[in-house]
Amino acid sequence: MKITVVRPGELGESERARWRALQKADPSLDNPFLSVEFAVAMDRLRDYVRVAVIDDGTGIVGFFPYERHSFGIGKPLGGFLTTCHGLISVPGLKVDVRALLRACRLTVYDFDHLVAGQPTFAAYESDVRPAPVMDFTAGFEAWLEQVKANSPKNLKTVRYKERKLGREQGELRFEYASADPEVLRVLLGWKSDQYRRTGRVDRFAQPWIVELIDLMHAERSADFSGVLTMLYAGDAPVAGHFGLRTATTIVGWFPAYDTEYARYSPGIVHHLRMAEAAAQAGVQMVDMGKGGKEYKDWLKSGELYVSEGRVSRPSPAAAVHWMGRVPFNKARTIVLDRPSLYKAADRVLKGFGRVRSSIQQESSNSVVKEPTGAS
Angle CA 125–130–131, to nearest 5: 115
Look up the CATH number of the domain holding residue 22.
3.40.630
Q: What is the pLDDT along the chain (375 residues), one digit of tens a residue?
A: 999 999 999 999 999 999 999 999 999 999 999 999 999 999 999 999 999 999 999 999 999 999 999 999 999 999 999 999 999 999 999 999 999 999 999 999 999 999 999 999 999 999 999 999 999 999 999 999 999 999 999 999 999 999 999 999 999 999 999 999 999 999 999 999 999 999 999 999 999 999 999 999 999 999 999 999 999 999 999 999 999 999 999 999 999 999 999 999 999 999 999 999 999 999 999 999 987 678 899 999 999 999 999 999 865 554 554 555 555 445 445 444 445 434 443 444 444 344 444 444 444 443 333 333 332
> Which pLDDT does position 324 carry in this prediction?
55
368 domain residue, yes or no: no
Q: Which domain holds residue 251?
A: 138-283
| Residues 340, 217 share a domain | no
> Which pLDDT does position 29 carry in this prediction?
98
> Which pLDDT does position 253 carry in this prediction?
96
Give which of 68, 48, 72 is closest to 320, Cα–Cα: 72
| Residues 338, 257 share a domain | no
| Residues 93, 124 share a domain | yes
Contacts for 259-263: CB closer than 8 Å, 24+ residues apart = 259/190, 259/193, 259/197, 261/165, 261/169, 261/233, 263/161
| Residues 145, 35 share a domain | no
> Which pLDDT does position 125 carry in this prediction?
96
| Residues 174, 277 share a domain | yes
| Residues 164, 41 share a domain | no
Number of domains in the chain: 3
* Residues 6 or more apart in contact with residue 324 via CB below 8 angstroms: none
Burial class (CB in 10 A: 0-12, 13-18, 19+), 266: buried
> Which pLDDT does position 292 carry in this prediction?
66
> Which pLDDT does position 326 carry in this prediction?
53
State if pTM tops 0.95. Answer: no
Q: Compute the distance between CA of residue 42 and CA of residue 252 in angstroms, rounded to an integer.
A: 18
| Residues 150, 238 share a domain | yes
| Residues 269, 145 share a domain | yes
18 domain residue, yes or no: yes
| Residues 199, 74 share a domain | no
211 domain residue, yes or no: yes
253 — phi, psi (to 5°)? -135, -70
